[in-house]
Amino acid sequence: MTRKPLVIDCHGHYTTAPEALAIWRERQIAGIKNPDVMPRVSELEISDDDIQNSIETNQLQLMRDRGSDLTIFSPRASFMSHHIGDFSISSTWSAICNELCYRVTKLFPESFAMAAMLPQSPGVDPASCIPELEKCANEYNAVAINLNPDPSGGRWCDPPLWDRQWYPIYEKLVEYDMPAMVHVSSSCNPSFHTTGAYYLNADTTAFMQLLSADLFKDFPSLRIIIPHGGGAAPYHWGRFRGLAQALEKPLLDEHLLNNVFFDTCVYHQPGIDLLTEVIPVKNVLFASEMVGAVRGIDPETGSYFDDTKRYIEASNSLTCADRFLIYEGNARRVYPRLDAQLKARGL
Residues that bind its own copies (CB under 8 A): 149-150, 154-156, 158-160, 189-193, 195-197, 200-201, 204-205, 207-209, 211-212, 228-229, 231-232, 234-243, 245-246, 251, 266-271, 273-274, 277-278, 293-296, 298-300, 305-306
Distance CA 158, CA 205 (A): 13
Distance CA 272, CA 211 (A): 22
Nearer to its own copies, 131 or 159 (CB): 159
Smallest distance, its own copies to C-beta of residue 212, A:
6
Instruction: Find out whether 100 and 128 touch, Cβ atoms under 8 Å.
Output: no
CA-closest candidate to residue 11, choices 102, 105, 115: 115
Smallest distance, its own copies to C-beta of residue 167, A:
17
Which residues are catalytic, by number? 289
Q: Annotate 189-208 with b (16+ C-beta within 10 A) or e (fewer).
A: beebebbeebbbbbbbbbbb
CA-closest candidate to residue 140, choices 171, 96, 106: 106
Instruction: Find out whether 75 and 97 touch, Cβ atoms under 8 Å.
Output: yes
Nearer to its own copies, 134 or 298 (CB): 298
Smallest distance, its own copies to C-beta of residue 245, A:
5
Smallest distance, its own copies to C-beta of residue 310, A:
11
Distance CA 4, CA 17 (A): 31
- List, in sequence order, every beta strand (DSSP E) within the chain: 8-14, 70-75, 112-116, 144-147, 180-182, 224-226, 260-263, 284-285
Smallest distance, its own copies to C-beta of residue 255, A:
13
Nearer to its own copies, 27 or 236 (CB): 236
Nearer to its own copies, 142 or 206 (CB): 206
Distance CA 198, CA 96 (A): 25
Smallest distance, its own copies to C-beta of residue 230, A:
9
Instruction: Find out whether 229 and 312 touch, Cβ atoms under 8 Å.
Output: no
Amino acid at 181: M
- List, in sequence order, every beta strand (DSSP E) within 199-295: 224-226, 260-263, 284-285
Nearer to its own copies, 13 or 103 (CB): 13
Strand partners, 14: 75
Strand partners, 115: 144
Nearer to its own copies, 38 or 197 (CB): 197
